[in-house]
Amino acid sequence: MMFYTKSDIQVFSARKIISGAVLLCLVITGCRCDPVDSGRKNTAAGSSETGSYADDRALIEDLQARYMFALDFGDLEGYVATFTEDGILDIGMGEWRSRDTIYRVLSAINDSEEDTGSPGDPELHPATGRHHISNIVIRIDGDTAYGRAYWFHMSNDNPQRSATLDSYGHYEDVMAKVNGSWLFARRKIFNEQVPDWAAPAENPCW
């Protein structure tokens, strides 16, 4: 005959209570137990094969960040690569459709700014600007996503090279998942510095 101590009985009772609670939870919620390693593998893009809101949101936020880096560091090829082949960019001057069009128009704008730009003070290091994004709201419906976000811009284009907040607005985006990667199908930029590009008074978010 095996004898149990008071401590053993307490442990057994606790195990029964926990097992009963887990079983009740599974019955109520309809959950099923899977092994810790269910065999789910990650794709090269970083999301699971079945996908989830968290996976897709992470990839979309990565897209938004890469867009900012390419914009601020003058990487035009990297910039247009964040759009689908037939993607649309609207900065308030009308819609530019397709990667080729976006690249051609922005290249012409950059060339024009270089021709008319002042050389600046040779004693100062070159001024820079950085875009930032916040208040990101994303709704995902299959391989299409809709986004709203604030943006603001900081620069140091002054004799002291001190940081200043000089512009802000918001984005309204439609994104498409193409071969496992999220890209901008349409990006509309509102800029509160320019009256014609400012946002309407209504809340743009759902």
All structural domains of the chain with their residue ranges: 53-109+127-197
- Read off φ and ψ for residue 122, nearest 5 degrees: -65, -15
Neighbours of 176 (CB within 10 A): 18
What band does 80 get if pLDDT is binned at 50, 70 and 90? very high
Whether 194 shows a pLDDT value over 50: the answer reads yes
Mean pLDDT of 158-186: 96
pLDDT of residue 6: 46
Whether 45 shows a pLDDT value over 50: the answer reads no
When the pLDDT of each residue in the chain is averaged and rounded to a whole number, the result is 81
pLDDT of residue 7: 46
What band does 125 get if pLDDT is binned at 50, 70 and 90? confident
- Read off φ and ψ for residue 171, nearest 5 degrees: -105, 145
| pLDDT > 90 fraction of the chain, expressed in percent and rounded | 64
Whether 10 shows a pLDDT value over 50: the answer reads no
Report how far Cα 11 is from the mean position of its chain's Cα atoms: 48
Least confident of 41-45, 102-106, 139-143: 41-45
Architecture of domain 53-109+127-197: Roll (3.10)
Is this structure's pTM higher than 0.75? no
